[in-house]
Structure 1
Amino acid sequence: MSPLVEVKNLKKHFTVNKGMFTKKTEIVKAVDGLSFTIEKGETLGLVGESGCGKSTTGRMIMRLIDPTEGQVFFNGNDLTVLSDEQLRPLRKEFQMVFQDPYASLNPRMKVSEIIEEPLIVHNFPKEERKQRVEELLHVVGLNAALADRYPHEFSGGQRQRIGIARALAVNPQLIVADEPVSALDVSIQSQILNLLKDLQSQFDLTYLFISHDLSVVEHISDRVGVMYLGRIVELSDKESLYKEPLHPYTKALLSAVPIPNPRAVRERMILKGDIPSPANPPSGCTFHTRCPFATEECKTTVPEWKMVSENRYVACHLYR
């Protein structure tokens, strides 16, 4: 059975000016050659530090921005070669939940209008729209009586529920969730995560869940991809990755996750130096400038993407 989403050698390079008073430009390699698949019904977590290209990847899969190079297949259709007109009928199959529940909702529209808008765009029967809006509000745990209110009358958690209801309106197969709980309090985060898991089992949804919080990703994901400077350095099933991480960067990230036990002690792996600029990435392995295990080979040779065991992939010279 073919995967629902297949990404092949995806790249996004931005051209930016070097300064205000010069015409010289440089290339920022936001995403630099990603390849992965998402099976139908699973949740793939994408984690990494800010600026590693997670959100850019999600937006390219949604075709909100066009890739510089590479392909994105959805149900066998190459989205990167379709025109806007050809893409429109497919849009209802993949939707997005955005990071900021305050900025992602139009403050001048009522909640009922926000949720109804995708139904109008995709020609949902007019006489059934109101009932569909009420159903969606109920599904995400909100009272249908709130439909005539404006976004500013809701809390952050409630606004994110409205964003999820809007994404569900046209019965999508895939939802790209771009840091959907990072702007919320911890108690509200758990409610939204549990809601997403319930909706997945109820509607047979597939998720690409983007986050910088490894604890959140562990709660919701089936597989996890770890990104660093525009590339995936490790991809594994959740249990294996959290129990025995392979890549030094993954080990460093996991060592920083707090343990909910005051007596437990975790050995910290502190990375030295700053994240290199994606406009001028290091040669060889891009992580070698911060890696405590770096060798001369790491400085000159790009590590191969290799399978080290069943469903476990890593790009590191430590694994031959």
Structure 2
Amino acid sequence: MATPLTASKLLKALRDEGLVVHEVREWRTHNRNAKGPWGPLNGVLIHHTATEGTGSSVDLCYEGRSDLPGPLCHGVIDKRGEIHLVGNGRANHAGLGDGDVLRAVVNETDLPPDNEADTDGNRHFYGFECINLGDGQDPWPEEQQTAIEKVSAAICRAHGWSEKSVIGHKEWQPGKVDPRGFTMDAMRTRIKKRLADPAAGPKDSGDGGGTERPVPPKPQHPPYEPFPGRDFFRADAYSAVITAMGERLVAEGCGRYQEGPGPAWTDADRTSYAAWQRKLGFSGKDADGIPGKVSWERLHVPNV
């Protein structure tokens, strides 16, 4: 049993494991705590979304459905292996499950069959939804499976748990089939191996407050404008670099200019750049319209 991690501690644990993490909207205070208790925490529950597409899946897990309000988990793991945090606290993801399974998770012993639905799982489990159709045909990229492994290991490290504190939804609630496409026994073997070594450490930060995937080496030809730093893009900025950036945004279909672009940094530049960040799949603070290193290098602004 464990006290729930604070939002900051959860974020740090995930990044310390070397994960790419995006903070979605007001995830730090987004929860269902008013509807029931949150904690003590006993384990990690892995799901599949039965959806496709990162943006729509993340929005669904944040907002929920008319019959099931969000958040529907704590984090979404996309096909690239990046994490989108959508809730902190009680979430509508586990439902009623088998109390015997919970006791096995607490004791870190072999799981019994889940043949009862008599225990509130939303109180006791962190939940992570993995984007997959769950039809047995939709592939599970290695990047995504590694992220599931890392997420689970990060939380287990934070609480001093073993891999036996990580289960699938299908092992908790009768009638569930998720996650479908890999076995939880194989995943627990991977988590056990990872826990035997120290955490990988955080990656470099990228746009906004989010951590992004490593950037491949920048090609030498043609030459591109190096990232000038976020502080460059202030209200009084005036540079040919900004014009070149705007022209690239227009070329990528993200231009939101009524006139220009020009050398002065304007609201139109920021709105256009936010559209580019969203096109790359960033959201929340990672799509605030202020260039970050990763999105800048992907834009390929010509060297001026």
Q: In which range does the TM-score fall when normalised by the shorter chain?
A: under 0.3
Normalised to the residue count of structure 1, the TM-score between the two structures is 0.25
Larger strand fraction of residues: 1
The TM-score, its normalising length taken from structure 2, stands at 0.26
